[in-house]
Structure 1
Amino acid sequence: MKGHVVVIAPYAPMHGEPRVSAPQISQALGGRALAVLESRDDWHRVRGADEYEGWIHAGYLAPVAEPPREESILTSLGCHVRSAGGKRRHLPPGALLLPDDIVESGTALAPDALRRAHPRDPAAAARTAMKIFEGTPYLWGGVTPWGVDCSGLVQTAFLIHGIVLTRDAWQQAGAGEDAGDDPLALRPGDLLFFSDRADRRITHVGIAAGDRTMVHSALGRGGFAMEKLDDMEDLYVEKLRSRYVGARRVRA
């Protein structure tokens, strides 16, 4: 099968191989269109708008003749919907509603309203990350408030503000322009990058939130956390600072 599919579940787990026991490498948000690159039995290797590729089971997907025009679709900010056939779903922030979805509770915005409420502003994306992900546990490959990893938090927060970033932390390190070497002198919305490897390949990312703070999702914190980067009495912050590689300023 080649062509395009749309995610019909609230989100679809994306695996590194076409089997359910393979590690989850990401998640595709509900309503998002994906290009099908290859199919094996009930599995499709797909690529999203962020150019990320992985395997998703066909049960999460529906084929479409062409990708829907996202500028005419409601975006969930966390809502419960019901389809014309009566099926109910709880959509995470960033998911797109399907054409026959009816909002029963929560918030979903049309494109113009979404742009007004969530403009293309990295500083605003930092605030959105705090609002959406506070209290969220860490989950490798996660992009929702039900479980999120470091780069998934960054990607979803910026996506809601109309800024499409790549999926993994090392890829996001190529976004925007250099924001300097001092993690205490960054603007809200700047991305901070860290490495725990000898070759300094990026393994972690967070978002500067102002007043020398950073928001991120970290295994070492069990999920969402806000760090005071000048608190060197905190052993976790001290370790983070020792792993700091640099920062990038995303263009709005």
Structure 2
Amino acid sequence: MKKNLLLLSLAVIVLLYACEKATVKQGLIIEQVEAKWVPDSRVDVFDVELVYSQGTLLVKGETTIAEAKDELLAKLGQTDKLIDSLVVLPISSIEKKWAVTTLSLANLRDEPKHSAQLVSQTIMGTPVRILKQKGGWSLVQSPDGYIAWTNNSSLAFMNEAEFDAWRSAKRVLVLSDGWLEDGFGHHVSDLVKGSLLTVVEKQKDKVIITLPDGRSGSVESDIVREFDMTGDLPALKGEKLIEVSKEFMGLPYLWGGTSSKAVDCSGFLKNIYFLNGYILARDASQQIKYGQPVPLQVEALQVGDLLFFGDAESKKVTHVGMYIGDTEFIHSSGRVKVNSLDETRENYSGYRRASWLGA
């Protein structure tokens, strides 16, 4: 009897060991596919779970990359019988797969609830792609590629035809914070820099506009300019970059903030460049991957260059500012302010100088 129990125990151990090895192998396959297709989870989704059931491997979860799903199933299918429950986003059953931000700013969070961490924001007139929905929330992808949750009350949802009509409509870009007002001087909505508004009619000193959700009103014509996405990108001018950045001076720091109400470091730079015709990636660690590298010498810098800071040992980027000339850079740290890389200056930041990683 003892011998039989011992043999049974050994068999269970061997079986468990075999299952563990298989799990480790499959886990490595998932890691390899994810590393190849989704190296940055902020701009793509690859959430996969494997479940064994009666000799069959159930593959479930979701991803935004169809090619990643195909490769994963092909590799797992070499050794296991599969049931495919892996969904490719956006969800096909969603009728209106586009939306436009219809509040002055919409908060983007890492989970579909108001208490979740704020990770980014979109401002009025920003188009987003709807990936899936849960309750009163939508998982959206903004023009910079960032994926996060936002409340449905901040969006105007559109089908393909409605979205095409919105994109082809005549629009203006808001250059200063202000108010959209009705014909009686009552506030319809607040406006922030960078908002995109659809033009209904131009008058002598006002522009009649409509919001994505159908509300309408007027703005002073001197705080907007025509918005046109056709043609070549505008030339970046150092003096204009400085002028726009100085308009944010003293603005408070907000983790996840990307508007002229409050900004984090990379959200601040996104605003400056968007108002000059360019869309930057969302986070500092993403922004450093674009553009031409500049030597870590003050003499090599030009106005408008992005300066990246972080941990010298790990080389992890955690902060970004913009060079404005004469050894100085502007950034959001506590508030939007100007510091110098010259230790003889009163506004010198030894901490930033020591943590300067790239430009």
The alpha-carbon deviation at position 65 of structure 1 amounts to 2.1
Q: CA deviation at 1:129?
A: 3.9
> Partner of 2:124 in structure 1?
30
Name the residue aligned to 1:108: 224
Q: Secondary structure at the match of 2:175?
A: strand
Structure 1 residue runs without a partner (length 5+): 248-252
Structure 2 counterpart of 1:230: 342
Contact 1:193–1:244 (CA<8 Å) still a contact in 2? yes
Deviation larger for 66-75 or 186-195 = 66-75
How far, CA to CA, are the matches of 2:303 and 2:219 in structure 1?
34
Structure showing the higher helix proportion among its residues: 2
Taking only aligned residues, the RMSD between alpha carbons, in angstroms, comes to: 2.5
Aligned to 2:272: 157
Aligned counterpart, 1:239:
351
Residues of 2 paired with 1:69 and 1:245: CA distance? Answer: 39
Gaps of 5+ in 2: 1-93, 199-208, 211-215
Q: Which moved more, 1:4-13 or 1:123-132?
A: 123-132
- Between structure 1 and structure 2, the one with the greater Rg is 2
Is 2:294–2:300's contact at 8 Å kept on the other side of the alignment? no
Change (3 A) 1:18 1:246: same
Q: Does the CA-based 8 Å contact 1:5-1:61 persist in structure 2?
A: yes
Change (3 A) 1:4 1:89: same
1:233 Cα shift? 6.5
How many residue pairs are counted as aligned between the two chains? Answer: 240
Looking at structure 1, the residues matched to 272 and 286 of structure 2 have their Cα atoms a distance apart, in angstroms, of 16
**Structure 1 partner of 2:300:** 185
User: Which residue of structure 1 lines up, in the alignment, with residue 172 of structure 2?
Assistant: 74
- Aligned sequence identity (%): 30
Deviations 1:47-102 (A, max 9, x none): 11111111000010110123332773111112321368976112111111145243
TM-score by length of 2: 0.62
User: Structure 2 matches for 1:58-137, cutoff 5 A?
Assistant: 58-66=152-160, 67=163, 68-69=166-167, 72-78=170-176, 79-82=178-181, 88-98=188-198, 99-100=209-210, 101-105=216-220, 107-111=223-227, 119-121=234-236, 123-124=238-239, 126-137=241-252
**TM-score, reference length from structure 1:** 0.86
With a CA cutoff of 8 Å and minimum separation of 6, indicate the structure with the bigger relative contact order: 1
Q: Alpha carbons of 1:123 and 1:233: their partners in 2 closer, same or farther (altered >3 Å)? A: closer
Distance 1:48 1:122, change over 3 A: farther
Conserved 8 A contact 1:228-1:237: yes
Q: Deviations over 1:170-220 (max 9, x none)?
A: 0000111112111353100000000036411110000000111100001xx
